[in-house]
Amino acid sequence: QEYLDFRKERSRMLLSRRNQLLLEFSFWNEPQPRQGPNIYELRTYKLKPGTMIEWGNNWARAIKYRQENQEAVGGFFSQIGELYVVHHLWAYRNLQSREETRNAAWRKRGWDENVYYTVPLIRTMESRIMIPLKISPLQ
């Protein structure tokens, strides 16, 4: 009964809800537990329909530019729900580390080429900074 009461109360606060079923890109690292403290950036890209294979092919080459500091946590794409959506999850020690790591990628030969070929595939993009809960294996 307590759970049913909770669900009823929660439904009064819930304005909308969306679900996605995601698959992991085969070329990306499998998410592993991490020592912290870290912050996480979830970058979401909504792609133009029909461009997922091109996106994946470019990122299969580009991921090597972002492995140096172990910042690449996971890369996923939607299978059910809103389609042609990609999520990249990155780990950084702090916002300063994020800035330094991202700037370092631009100094690597070939990174700019990846950006050049993937930006035209994007309809919208979003970045969220997240702090893990104490119970999360990603610290």
Look up the pTM and report it: 0.85
Of all helices (H) and strands (E), which one includes residue 2? helix 2-13
Is residue 63 a part of any domain in this protein? yes
**Structural domain range at position 43:** 20-130
7 belongs to a structural domain: no
CATH of the domain at 34: 3.30.70.100
Q: What is the pLDDT of residues 40-80, one digit of tens each?
A: 999 999 999 999 999 999 999 999 888 877 899 999 999 99
Query: How many domains is the chain partitioned into structurally?
Result: 1
Neighbours of 63 (CB within 10 A): 17
User: Could you tell me if residue 1 is inside a domain?
Assistant: no
Residue 28 domain-assigned? yes
| H or E element, residue 100 | helix 95-106
Q: pLDDT band at residue 113, thresholds of 50, 70 and 90?
A: very high
> Does residue 59 belong to any structural domain of this protein?
yes
- pLDDT band with cut points at 50, 70 and 90 for residue 30: confident
